[in-house]
Amino acid sequence: MRMLVSLNGYAAHLFAVLALGPLAGCSGKVVVCEGGTPVEGAGAASGYEKCDGDWVHRPQVVECASVLPRADATCDPEMIGGGSCTKDADCNEQANGFCGYNGGELGGCYCNYGCTKDADCGDGQICVCGDPVGYCASASCSSDADCGGDKLCATYVTEPGCGGLAFACQSPDDQCASDADCAQGYQCTLEGDHRICGEINCAIGRPFLVEGSARVAPLSRRRDWCAADVSPRVAALDSESRMILAEEWSKSGQMEHASIAAFARFAMQLLGLGAPPELLVETHAAMADETAHARACFALASAYAGAPIGPGKLSLDGALTDADMATVVRLAIVEGCIGETVAAVEAAEASARAEDPEVQAVLARIAQDEGRHAELAWRFVRWALVQQPALARIVEQAFADALAGERAHPCFAASAVDEAWLAHGVARGSVKAELRRRVVDAVVAPAAALLVTRTGPRDAALAAS
C-alpha cells in the first residue's frame, strides 16, 4: 500500500509520498495458555479454549452449533429505537440470519448474519462459535496447527479503544497475550506478526484529552447533527456491512464532535496566555470546521444505519482546569502536532481510496481542514518557544516521550481485510496503526526536530504567521 500525503506549510517540505512497508525489531516470548477452559457456542463444543487473562485460542476446527431460526425471539424496533426487523425470519438476505438488538450506543433491531463454519466467512476470516450462531472474525490462521511448534492461533484487539477481536499466530516477539498484560490505557493488539500493548486511541481529528484519556459524548437518536447534503450510496450494501459502516462513522462523528470542545478549551487557554489574535481567529475557524466534520460523519452513520444518529451530552468534568504555558504546549503537541497531523494523512488516504463520491468529498474536506489544524498546533508551539525560550527542553522532552510511546514496538503491516475497508473510506485496525506509525516517523519526528533547533528570538515577528 502506498500513502499519498499532502500537508500545508510547516511540515510540507518533509515529504510528498510515503511508501508503507514492514519494519522489524521486537522482542518477547510465546505465552503459554494456562487454566485453559473449553468454550461453548449455542450449548455445544466450539473448538476454542479460553486462557487465564481472558484470551482465546483455537486448538481445533469444529463446525459451530446454531439455534436459528428462533421461534420465540422477537425484537420491537418501536420500543427500542428503530431498526429493520422484528424476527429471525425477516433476515433472509443470506444464510444464518437473525434479528437482534444491536446493543451499545447505536441500539435498534437489525438483521445480523452469522456463520457455522469458516467457509461461511470471507477470505482472511474464521467462524467463532457463539449464541445463537457463530460470527466471522478476521484471522491470519485457522487453528493452532497453522502456527507450528508451541505457538497458538490466538486473539488480539484490532483497534485499541474502538474494540474488535481477531486471531493470529503467536510470535516469539509477542509482548502480551491479553489486555491483562498491559498497563492502564493500553490493550493487546497486533503490529506486523507480533503482539504489543497499543495505546487506546482511535481518534480521527484532535482528541479531547482529559487526564490523558480521549473523551467523547455518548450517541443519541437525533437528526439535528446530520448534514442534509450528505447521502452515500447504500442500496448495494448488505446489512452487516451497513452496520459496520454505521458504527465506524458514528465513532468518527463522536471524535469530531469532541474536537469542538478541544478547540474551545484551546481558545480559552490562548486568551489566558496572551496569544496573538491570528491564533484565536484560526482556532475559532477550526471549531466551525470540526462542527461541519461531525455533522457530515453523523449523516453518513445515519444513512448506513437507516436511523438518525447524533451526539448526546459531552461531559466537561475536569476538562477546564487552569493551565500554564508548559501544560498547554504539552497538550497541543499530543492533540495537534501528532493527533491532527496523523488525522490529515489518514483522511487523505481514505479519500483517495474511497469509491463513493459522497464519502470521498467528506474525507477530502476533513483532510484539508485537519492539515490546517495541525499547522495551527505547530505554529502555537513555535510561538510559545519564542515567548519562553526556556520551554525548549520541555518541548523537546514532550516530543521525545510521545514519540517513544509511538515507536515502542515498530513492527507492523496492514492486513488485506482491513485495507479492503478503505474502499468505503474507513481506515480500520492494522491500516490505522500502520498509517499512524509511518506519519509519526516520517513527518512528526523530523518536524519536531526542526521546530526546536530553528526557533529562536529572531522568529518573534513570524511566530504566529
pTM of the model: 0.65
pLDDT score of 107 more than 80: no
For 191-230, the pLDDT digits (tens) are: 777 888 876 655 556 778 777 677 888 888 889 999 999 9
* 83: DSSP letter: B
Cα 150 to Cα 232: distance, rounded to the nearest angstrom: 47
Q: What pLDDT, on a 0 to 100 scale, did the predictor assign at position 203?
A: 53
Cα distance between residue 275 and residue 273, in whole Å: 6
Over 60: is that where the pLDDT of 14 sits? Answer: no
d(CA 194, CA 232): 37
- pLDDT, tens digit, for every residue of 180-190? 887 666 788 88
Residue 11 has pLDDT above 50, yes or no: no
Q: Name the fold adopted by 2-22+203-462.
A: Ribonucleotide Reductase, subunit A (1.10.620)
Do residues 159 and 138 make contact, with C-beta atoms less than 8 angstroms apart? Answer: no
Instruction: Give the pLDDT confidence score for residue 163 in this predicted structure.
Output: 62
342-359: average pLDDT: 91
3-state secondary structure 204-273: CCCCCEECCEECCCCEECCCCCCCCCCCCCCCCCCHHHHHHHHHHHHHHHHHHHHHHHHHHHHHHHHHHH
CB contact at 8 A, 339 and 206: yes
- pLDDT over 50 at 410, yes or no: no
CA distance 40 to 346: 39
Reference 374, options 263, 458, 252, 450; nearest CA is 263
Residue 140: what pLDDT? 92
Range ranked top by mean pLDDT from 267-271, 322-326, 337-341, 437-441? 267-271
pLDDT tens string 33-92: 998 999 999 889 999 999 998 899 999 999 999 999 988 878 876 555 556 788 898 888
The percent of residues above 90 in pLDDT, for the chain, comes to 38
Beta bridge partners of 219: 311
Residue 318 CA to residue 210 CA, distance in Å, equals: 7
- What is the CB-side half-sphere exposure of residue 223 using CA atoms within 13 A? 5
Q: Is 321 exposed, middle or buried (0-12, 13-18, 19+ CB in 10 A)?
A: exposed
Axis-axis angle for helices 341-353, 429-439 (nearest 10): 130
What phi and psi values does residue 64 have, to the nearest 5 degrees? -75, 150
How many other C-beta atoms are found inside a 10 Å radius of the C-beta of residue 40? Answer: 14
Nearby residues of 432 by Cβ (< 8 Å), 6 or more positions away: 159, 202, 346, 418
Of 367, 337, 341, 336, nearest in space to 439 by CA: 341
pLDDT band, very low/low/confident/very high, at 10 (cuts 50, 70, 90):
very low
Intra-chain end-to-end CA distance of the chain, in Å: 36
Sequence spans of domains, the chain? 2-22+203-462
Percent of the chain with pLDDT over 70: 81
Quote the CA–CA distance of 153 and 172 in Å, as a whole number: 13
- The helix (H) or strand (E) run that includes residue 157 is strand 153-159
pLDDT of residue 407: 59
Question: Dihedral (C-alpha) 304, 306, 308, 309: value to the nearest 10 degrees?
Answer: -40
CA distance 322 to 286: 22
Q: Are 300 and 362 in contact (CB under 8 A)?
A: yes
- The position carrying cell 469458516 is 118
